[in-house]
Amino acid sequence: MTHPTIPLYGYERFFAMDPDSSAKLAHVATLRGDIPGFLQHLPQAVLQTFNRHPKMRASILPGSSPQKGMICAPLADVSELKSLLTIHECSVDEEERAEQERINAAMDNSTMPHLRWMEFVQSECEKPLDREKSFPFYLVVRVDKSTSTFARLILFADHYMSDATSGAVILREILQTVSKLSGSSSEELPKELPLRESLYEGTHYVNAWMNVVHEAVSKYVMQPLMNFDTNAFVPLLPIQTESQLDFAGTPPTPANQSFALFAQGSEASMRSAMARCKEEHVSLQGAIIAATTMAFGLTKHEGSMRDCTEPLQLRMDVMGDMRQQVALNPVKRGLFDSFLPQTKGLNCETPVGLYSTPTDLVFTSSEGVDPHGMSFWDVARKADHEWECALLGHELKMQSMFVNEVLNAENRTDSGLSVANCALNDVTLSYLDCSDAASTPFPSELPLGSNNLSVEDLHVYNSHPSLSSTSKLFVTALSHFDYALMYKLETDVAHKLFDWMVRCTERIGEYREQDTFAQAADRLAGVAEADETLEIAVESTPTTAEAVAVTDADSSEAGSFQQNSEG
């Protein structure tokens, strides 16, 4: 049987560059309700989802140069899920009781419980997949069988075929399919979607002549600029220099480790933030950018920006989902392909794949933020404006062209790029709107036969083994904000930064227009010290490889469709 193949382009090539390292995404959905009913229909729902999205069945074609992906045939039945789905039993002490400890800890900021699922996510994201033999997606369910009402559904994905939106799409479809299968109606399940072209193909002319032009521009124009830019970068906050090796023309060996922190906000804070953003005519993403900038300022200046006399400068990228910006055509172009549905617009499919790209906010690193001359909302509005301009500009195209031509498996031993500690910038922000205000909201509650299943949290995390920001903040909006931080910073600094990130974001609804940025920050710091009822639970994982206590069952059986016991 002949399987369709697709060439890898842009960031797909970058994240598949090193076979010995992992850049995994993890989406963690906390579920409560009829878990036995959920588990009964889960295998069939997972099967349907893998068969619906072609890129979920991708693998690297062995020996291909340049690298190509091969789309494998649809799965025949649930017996083929052995390497794709694990049902993992956990004790009440590990999950349900730890969850209650987290809720209790929301009233006490000094308490930071270490939950096993966080250790597991951090550890699992460090393990590379064999891209020539494995699909880029697999699922693990951590279920508390003693209560039958609590579980965590975790989707792991190799970044070269996935992004934050893809994971949310997959989990949403799995949950919706479980709900349909548990009902008595004979509703037809969705059919397989067409295989869509990559983001690079949707934004560039890809042919032999243009490839020569792209290669020349990347080598003689972009590469000197990139080396100059990276050599001039000095991180705002200190990095773990011992664990973060340099990129000296090739990815470091061993790969640089990533570390994780997680937190959950309150519904009241998110409602307040959304209402205030509407009043100020700014996006929630713009406000989160301003809050993240404030968090760096408070961390850098020890909790007060009153005496900050210089503009606050930091390099910040914002992840942009480009699905709404680019029409993605079917890969197999034929006579009648013009009649096939396109992906651009609101009423269309959401293709699974790597369709997000980092966008540089120039003003935060060039002119910076004047803490005494701008307000919080001035910064948010400026961020919105620059974001809109960046999506229309040519920088994203040039950036992806350089990545495609230089940072790939063929050039991995001689890319000519040198980056100290593999650090490209201070922070990357990824905001994922899964709330009821989104065009495709994530379900908060689903019928399951005569019972229900509710989704309480959705955390997103991403490890980076090589070139990356020193920190990457993921904010997911459900009925509240869920937070995750990937960091390469010194441990105590990262904890302080994440604490401020959560606090600054949770207080978006309280910033006053008349206050300067510094006044708003100091007012927040004062409130944070006095207010003992802030409903934020900040949770962390151990910060060294030796401290991550994952059992053999966790590490060796994460790819098996079977049930294990964990004491």
Cβ neighbors of 560 (< 8 A, separation 6 or more) are 82, 83, 86
pLDDT at res. 114: 56
Q: Give the model's confidence band at 94: pLDDT under 50 very low, under 70 low, under 90 confident, else very high.
A: low
pLDDT at res. 415: 76
The backbone region for 63, taken as left when phi is positive above 0, alpha when psi lies in -120 to 50, beta otherwise, is: left
What is the arithmetic mean of pLDDT over 199-228? 83
Q: Give the span between the Cα atoms of 435 and 328, in whole angstroms.
A: 25
pLDDT at res. 342: 53
| 295 lies in some domain | yes
pLDDT at res. 232: 83
3-state secondary structure of 19: coil
Residue 170 has pLDDT above 70, yes or no: yes
Region of poorest pLDDT, from 87-101, 204-218, 220-234, 517-531: 87-101
Q: Give the span between the Cα atoms of 538 and 263, in whole angstroms.
A: 4
Q: Give the span between the Cα atoms of 544 and 550, in whole angstroms.
A: 13
Three-class secondary structure assignment of 94-151: CCHHHHHHHHHHCCCCCCCCCCHHHHHHHHHCCCCCCCCCCCCEEEEEEEECCCCCEE
| 345 lies in some domain | no
Task: Give, to the nearest 10 degrees, the angle between helix 491-506 and helix 284-300.
Answer: 140
Helix (H) / strand (E) containing 211: helix 208-217
Q: Give the model's confidence band at 4: pLDDT under 50 very low, under 70 low, under 90 confident, else very high.
A: confident
Antiparallel, parallel or unpaired: β 316-321 and 427-433 = parallel
Helix (H) / strand (E) containing 71: strand 68-71
Residue 247 has pLDDT above 80, yes or no: yes
**Cβ(297)–Cβ(376) under 8 Å?**
no
The vertex-159 CA angle with 155 and 163, nearest 5°, equals 70
Which residues are 30's β-sheet partners? Answer: 152, 457
Residue 70 burial (CB count, 10 A): 16
> Cα-Cα-Cα-Cα dihedral of 157, 117, 564, 138, to 10°?
-10
pLDDT at res. 11: 95
Residue 467 has pLDDT above 90, yes or no: yes
The vertex-59 CA angle with 56 and 62, nearest 5°, equals 175
Q: Give the model's confidence band at 109: pLDDT under 50 very low, under 70 low, under 90 confident, else very high.
A: very low
How many residues in total does the chain contain? Answer: 567
Q: Peptide bond before 254: cis, by omega within 30 degrees of 0?
A: yes
**Cβ(508)–Cβ(291) under 8 Å?**
yes
Q: Exposed, middle or buried: residue 216 (CB in 10 Å: 0-12, 13-18, 19+)?
A: exposed
Phi/psi for 264 (5° steps) reads: -130, 135
Helix (H) / strand (E) containing 452: strand 451-462
Percent of the chain with pLDDT over 70: 84
pLDDT at res. 548: 37
**What residue ranges in 243-349 does DSSP mark as E strands?**
247-248, 259-264, 316-321
pLDDT at res. 567: 36
pLDDT at res. 539: 53
Q: Give the span between the Cα atoms of 93 and 99, in whole angstroms.
A: 9
Residue range 337-386, pLDDT digits in tens: 444 555 554 345 899 999 999 999 999 999 999 999 999 999 999 999 99
Residue range 271-292, pLDDT digits in tens: 999 999 999 999 999 999 999 9
| 136 lies in some domain | yes
What is the arithmetic mean of pLDDT over 408-426? 86
Q: Give the model's confidence band at 559: pLDDT under 50 very low, under 70 low, under 90 confident, else very high.
A: very low
Structural domain of 302: 5-186+194-336+364-554
For 36, 319, 328, the CA distances from 194, given in Å and listed in that order, are 33, 25, 11
What is the arithmetic mean of pLDDT over 236-255? 93
Q: Exposed, middle or buried: residue 336 (CB in 10 Å: 0-12, 13-18, 19+)?
A: exposed
pLDDT at res. 538: 54
Residue range 299-344, pLDDT digits in tens: 999 999 998 989 999 999 999 999 988 877 887 544 344 445 555 5
The vertex-561 CA angle with 79 and 15, nearest 5°, equals 105
> Cα-Cα-Cα-Cα dihedral of 294, 300, 301, 307, to 10°?
-70
What is the arithmetic mean of pLDDT over 229-243? 91
Phi/psi for 182 (5° steps) reads: -80, -15
| 274 lies in some domain | yes
Q: Give the span between the Cα atoms of 505 and 205, in whole angstroms.
A: 40
Q: Give the model's confidence band at 561: pLDDT under 50 very low, under 70 low, under 90 confident, else very high.
A: very low
pLDDT at res. 95: 55
The gap from C-alpha 203 to its chain's centroid, in whole angstroms, comes to 22
Residue 219 has pLDDT above 60, yes or no: yes
| 182 lies in some domain | yes
| 356 lies in some domain | no
| 397 lies in some domain | yes
Q: How many domains does the chain have?
A: 1
Any idea what the CATH number is for the domain that residue 297 is in?
Answer: 3.30.559.10
What is the arithmetic mean of pLDDT over 129-144? 95
pLDDT at res. 550: 35
| 565 lies in some domain | no
Which residues are 155's β-sheet partners? Answer: 27, 139
What is the arithmetic mean of pLDDT over 165-171? 98
Mean pLDDT over all residues of the chain? Answer: 86
**Cβ(12)–Cβ(404) under 8 Å?**
no
Residue 99 has pLDDT above 90, yes or no: no
Q: Give the span between the Cα atoms of 326 and 281, in whole angstroms.
A: 26
